Amino acid sequence: MALILLGLVLWTWPHLMKEYTPGLRAGLAEGSAKGLVAVSAFLAVALMVLGYRSAETIFVYAPPAWGQHLNNLLMLFAVALFGGAHSKGHLKHYVRHPMFAGTIVWGVAHLLVRGDAASILLWGGMILWAVAGWIVTNRRHPGYVAPIGGTLKGDVILAVITVVVYVVIVLIHSLVGPNPLPM
């Protein structure tokens, strides 16, 4: 589980350094800062995946029987939120931080089906990162005005991309496990 924790640290700090340590990030050239975040994010994901897959299974709670169905539905919304951050649809008008919201939904969905310590550390850590990022970003930018606009075409494109990405995620999960579909 140490790898999961190290991965969470490598994920959290670069993603929040602009908010928590603005002087440090300002001291880096823009390309260097983006490169640092990209390399750190890649290493973080690799460490979290390796740490999660190698962690001993220590059950903390028994997930509810209905959790798998709700997980699958919530994941559809999480994928839409992740995509909505970059879409030309209306979602950004209703959700200030679609990436943070998507991460929270993604984490909660997985905690509905995984009751082991490694899952709590991994998805709980990602939820905490998203909540902290949301709060800090809101405090730094209190005068936020929701974007006006968005198009029906953008909404339709987001819906189609969401379904395609969701199906790909389900297929990948089915191959490498655990299978997200009810048996």
pLDDT tens, position by position, 44-100: 999 999 999 999 999 999 999 999 999 999 999 999 999 998 899 999 889 999 999
Query: Does the pLDDT value for residue 165 go beyond 70?
Result: yes
The tokens for 70 are 């709700």
The tokens for 138 are 């809101």
Reported as half-sphere exposure (CB side, CA atoms, 13 A), residue 110 has a value of 21
Query: Does the pLDDT value for residue 177 go beyond 80?
Result: no
Show Cβ contacts of residue 43 under 8 Å, excluding neighbours closer than 6 positions.
7, 10
pTM (two decimals) = 0.88
Residue-wise pLDDT for 103-146, tens only, equals: 999 999 999 999 999 999 999 999 999 999 899 889 888 888 88
Q: Would you kindly state where each structural domain of the chain is located, as residue ranges?
A: 1-55, 58-183
